[in-house]
Amino acid sequence: MSTDTVLAEIKNLRTYFYLAEGVVRAVDGVDLVIKSGRTLGVVGESGCGKSITALSLMQLVPSPGRIEGGEITYYRTIHKTASSTTADAINITRLKPDSREMRSIRGNQISMVFQEPMAAMLPVRTVGAQIMEAIMLHQQVSKEEARKRAIEILSRVKLPNADRIVDTYPFQLSGGMRQRAVIAMALSCNPNLLIADEPTTALDVTTEAQILDLMRELQREFDMAIMYITHNLGVIAEMADEVAVMYMGKVVEQTDVTSIFRKPLHPYTQALLRSIPQLDDVMARAAGQKKRLETIKGMVPDPYSVLKGCSFHPRCPQYIEGVCNQITPEVIEVDPNHIVRCHLYASHAAQAQTNKDATP
């Protein structure tokens, strides 16, 4: 089945920033798998490395950052028939950021939508010109043809009067319209993978809902995978098939979207879920009961520090002295397709190990 074909695989990715104050390990050993046509949600607080993981995938890590290790494999479709798909594995980490090969992937096979629609387009060039550019670059078509395709893609993101919008300047559009135009720009070359880095954070709730609907619709239409980055668990519930929770440059828990809400394992995931405002609590407060929104105690530690043991231990409610602050937790597969990095589930690891030992 095509839905289970691996499109991109990130293995032990490490992206570090070398600053005067020290080294920031923005991404420190991330493993992720993106499947064709599916949506992978990546959640975490600001600064947990989710955006940098996405930028690493496109070889767009800003200076002074550098991909320090690990592998990103992208399976580029070369031949597709009804029964089988032939793919060509490309090791993105080995490509130079400005190389021809990397550029032929960027915007063509993998494209990206950013957080701030107001800043994503240059104000002095028309929306059309900025969309046509990518089409002309990757599909070698004439200017007239590119313009035709730009109008078509603008109407597919449900912008009214696409033939007029193509000649407007970005600042003449509203935030929601602009984000649609930015999505149109990202989809203009029919990518296999769309990375959406908090595309609705800057929009109001109604517009957010419309954009999310639109993205789901376009995903079916274009049959593309989406890597959806957000700090909003509500959006994750709406959008994702699989969810990866990140904390300080590491994936701490990864599973399907149902399990993450039904059976969160990592104390950090549990805490995140508890800190979502619930309508029930609001009602309870209105009825005079004392109920406060839970927060995660403490702050995300200073990014320059390298904590011994689990990086969540200073904030963890289930912290075990002598273990969590000493030993770095390994990835444990608690259930099939449900992994976690936490010492609380060490017995599962031991179990898995005995099973494995017993098998032969």
Partner 1 sequence: MLGYIFQRIVRAVPQLLLISVLAFIIIQLPPGDIVTLQIQRLRNSGVEVDEVQAQALIRQYGMDKPMYQRYFLWITNIITKFDFGYSFTFEKPVTEVIMERMGYTFAIALFAHIFTWTVAIPIGVYVAVKQYSITDYIVTFITFIGLAVPAFFLAMIIMYVALTKFDIRAGGLFSQEYLVLPWSWGKFLDLLSHLWLPIILLGTGGVAGTIRTMRAMMLDELRKQYVTVARAKGLSEFQVIVRYPSRLAINPILSGVMWLLPWLFSGGLMVEIVLNLQTAGPALYSSLRNQDMYMAGAYILITGFLTAISAILSDVLLAVSDPRIRFGGVEGA
Site for partner 1 contains 196 (CB under 8 A)? no
CA distance 4 to 16: 31
The 41-80 contact track toward partner 1, x by CB under 8 A, reads --------------x--x-x-x------------------
Residues 6+ apart with CB under 8 A from 106: 58, 59, 60
Please, which residue, 167 or 213, has the CB nearer to partner 1? 167
Q: Does 105 bind partner 1 (CB under 8 A)?
A: yes
Q: Does 172 bind partner 1 (CB under 8 A)?
A: yes
Give the closest residue to 69 by CA, choosing from 93, 33, 91, 101.
93
Q: Candidates 82-90, 133-141, 221-229, 295-303: pick the segment binding partner 1 (CB under 8 A).
A: 133-141
Cα gap 266→179, rounded to integer Å:
34
Total residues at interface with partner 1 (CB under 8 A): 33
Please state whether 48 falls in left (phi above 0), alpha (psi between -120 and 50) or beta: alpha
According to CB under 8 A, which one of 35, 138, 156, 250 is a site residue for partner 1? 138
Please name the helix (run of DSSP H) or strand (run of DSSP E) that holds residue 215, with its range, or none: helix 205-222
Q: Quick one: which segment of 82-90, 104-112, 233-241, 293-301 binds partner 1 (CB under 8 A)?
A: 104-112
Using CB under 8 A, which of 19, 122, 283, 350 touches partner 1? 122
Within 294-345, residue ranges assigned H as helices are none
Residues in the chain: 360
The residues near 210 (Cβ < 8 Å, ≥ 6 apart) are 176
Cα separation, 243 vs 233, in Å, equals 10
120 vs 239, which CB is nearer to partner 1? 120
Helix (H) or strand (E) holding 279: helix 279-286
**Crossing angle between the packed helical segments 127-139 and 175-187, to the nearest 10 degrees:** 10
Residue from the set 116, 163, 241, 281 that interacts with partner 1 by CB under 8 A: 116
As measured in angstroms, the least distance from the Cβ of 249 to partner 1 is 20
Residues 173-192 that bind partner 1 (CB under 8 A): 182, 185-186
Task: DSSP letter for 328, please.
Answer: P
Does 27 interact with partner 1 (rule: CB under 8 A)? no
Choose which of 137, 237, 273, 300 interacts with partner 1 (CB under 8 A): 137
Nearer to partner 1, 20 or 287 (CB): 20
Binding flag, residue 18, partner 1 (CB under 8 A): no
Site membership for partner 1, residue 133 (CB under 8 A): yes
Bridge partners of 138, per DSSP, are none
Which residues contribute to the site for partner 1 (CB under 8 A)? 55, 58, 60, 62, 98, 103-108, 111-112, 114-116, 119-125, 133-134, 137-138, 169, 171-172, 182, 185-186
